[in-house]
Amino acid sequence: MDFLSHQSIPAILKVNARQFAKKTAVSFKKQGVFLSLTYEEFYERVLMLARGLVKVGLKPEDPVCIFSENRLGWAISDFGIQSARGIPVPIYATNTGKQAAYIINHCGAKIVFVSTKAQYEKLLEVRDEIPGVELVISYERFIGDRSFPVYTQYQLSEAGEPLLPEEKVEIERMIDQIAQQDLITIIYTSGTTGVPKGVMLTQYNIMSNAQIGLKQLGALKDQETFLSFLPLSHVLERTAGYYATLLSGQHVAFAEDVKKVMENMVEVQPTWMVSVPRLFEKIYSRVHENAHQLSPLRRSIFHRALQVGRDYANKKYVDGQVDGLLAMQYRLYDRLVFRKIRDRFGGRLRGFICGGAPLDRTINEFMWAIGLPVFNGYGLTETSPALTLCNLGAVRFDSVGKPLAMTELKLAEDGELLVKGPQVMRGYYKSEEKTAEIFSDGWLKTGDIARIDENGFVYIVDRKKEIIVTAGGKNIAPQPIENELKLDKYISQAIVFGDRKPYLVALLNPNLERLIDWSREEELDYLDTDELVKSNRVRALYTERIAELNKNLPPYATIKEFVLIPGEFTIEGGELTPTLKLKRKEIYNKYKEMVDQMYMKKGNGLVFQTTSTDGEKK
């Protein structure tokens, strides 16, 4: 379908509701069972909600907030608000009440959708700070406070009352009035570098990005299922995993929870998923963990299979040619090893679309080797989001692919990537100053340092603001070093610091499963994980692992000191964004004392410290 022959995303849904009337549009889990709605049924729910919003006074271009995790209600709200000509403004489900209040007040929303009582209670706590909110709508039924009444989406939609023909005509007339240059959403950035900014994206921005992205990726089959687990509040999932899927007549299944993604993959058997690198890091770690438990013979077969898989992936997808013997070896190991791995993830996956943060080359190559290709891309909230994307005919395992059609890229003198294209935002909401700052002669400044090779492949070096400049004047990109650290079987997460300092230091989360296995083999005695990581033998283990990494780095980029932190960085702990990127500023502030103390050492060799998950030195 040519998306751009239509004026809006709701207009395409209207067509699809007729063309794919009985085809499954969305699936969701309720009381332990996945249920579904056809395109016809989903569209009916959307129109009912739009009817209700019009009745309570929603006017064209009124912002409406959605404070929810991924679920059916989110999707109905989103399309319903658009169909009533409002502007959906998502709020991450992990946000606090105060964070939500800022967005609600800044955009001026009078109506807020919430998913659960827990989200409602966040708003109730800041009720005095959001005086403009007139109506709260919940996807679940519960009793709210008398001073802050809440209604259900079912009630607002008057779901028990079928749409009258004249009501449907009226809502569809409103849909027909939506223009390509109208705002489809205002998405507030995560605010990791300051106050969140409201990114204004148009119907044309999103539709063009979805259509061009799908074309660059390659044709979809007639029956595709996308499992949606990244927050729909984030533009990557919203455009690539949700809009692109529904606009092309495919099936979106909403995962129960981020923590149940692996389980849901087996249940739903998706063919495609959108993800960030953290999922692939976990898959890489889990597969290697399982291989570690195999007998010596089977472990040897696994490692041989991986070597053949890597050779095959490079020959076929990078070089574009595979000799017969290698292809035959790969088919053998695919039956013996890789097919069994894929079955653990549903068995039908054709590929992943990856963005949000750099994906390590080793992990990307591993995913292609086992037959779960990752189509790496790059973009920003401000660009709807995709600017580049790999495809089967254009793969480099350390690249984010080539520019999308109609997208122009160039490098500034300092290496910053500058862009123009149909996906570039209108600007920041109520902030002409910030809008002017991000544009230079019509080019949007991405804030990322990049390089572009002679074949047009784009490589992201690091965030411009995250480049470390040491006291000795050396410029160091921390993310490649962090990715190398995370490849170590005893390290789960890592973050490197060293800006304006004499050397680099690191905070490390151990891979506790691996470390506990090692401790059994070494017959260590300990009461809990805090005591385990304080063991002198554990200190020696990690000192040795970091020393091995340092051998492959130039002297100025080696890790001189590190702190081991039990547990993992989390969204709840404030260390990760909702899309699982490291919040460097927050992590530094939380562990500032530990980081600063590492610079009180002389830096002569590795110094090992440990800390509890609350930042208290041990």
Give 408-448 pLDDT, tens digit per residue.
999 999 999 999 999 999 999 999 999 999 999 999 999 99
Are 508 and 562 a contacting pair, CB within 8 Å?
A: yes
Q: Give the pLDDT confidence of 17-27 residue by residue, as tens digits.
A: 999 999 999 99
Mean pLDDT of the residues in the chain: 93
Is 32 inside a domain boundary?
A: yes
- What's the pLDDT at 237? 96
Is 385 inside a domain boundary?
A: no
CA atoms within 13 A on the CB side of 490: 19
What's the pTM? 0.89
Is 462 inside a domain boundary?
A: no
- What's the pLDDT at 613? 44
- Single out the residue in 249, 273, 297 at which a domain terminates: 273
Residue 124: give its domain's CATH number. 3.40.50.12780
Six-digit token string for 410: 């160039």
Residue 614 clears pLDDT 90, i.e. is over it: no
Are 225 and 217 a contacting pair, CB within 8 Å?
A: no
d(CA 41, CA 76): 11
Which whole number is the average pLDDT over 218-231? 89
- Single out the residue in 273, 290, 306 at which a domain terminates: 273
- What's the pLDDT at 194? 65
Name the band, by pLDDT with cuts 50, 70 and 90, for residue 192: low
Is 484 inside a domain boundary?
A: yes
Name the band, by pLDDT with cuts 50, 70 and 90, for residue 606: low
Residue 618 clears pLDDT 80, i.e. is over it: no
Residue 326 clears pLDDT 70, i.e. is over it: yes
- What's the pLDDT at 46? 98
Name the band, by pLDDT with cuts 50, 70 and 90, for residue 193: low
- What's the pLDDT at 432? 95
Residue 585: give its domain's CATH number. 3.30.300.30
| Total structural domains within the chain | 2
- What's the pLDDT at 605? 46
- Single out the residue in 273, 289, 307 at which a domain terminates: 273
Q: Give the pLDDT confidence of 517-541 residue by residue, as tens digits.
A: 899 899 888 888 888 988 889 989 9
Are 203 and 181 a contacting pair, CB within 8 Å?
A: yes
Residue 350 clears pLDDT 90, i.e. is over it: yes
Nearest by Cα to 398 from 351, 446, 363, 350: 363
Share of residues in the chain with pLDDT > 90 (%): 81
Task: For tokens 């006017």, name the residue.
Answer: 59
Is 50 inside a domain boundary?
A: yes
Is 59 inside a domain boundary?
A: yes
**Domain around 56:** 3-178+219-273
- What's the pLDDT at 604? 43
Is 348 inside a domain boundary?
A: no
d(CA 27, CA 82): 21
Phi-psi region of 273 (alpha: psi -120 to 50; beta: other; left: phi over 0): beta
- What's the pLDDT at 191? 55
Task: For tokens 């519960």, name the residue.
Answer: 142
- What's the pLDDT at 417? 98
Is 335 inside a domain boundary?
A: no
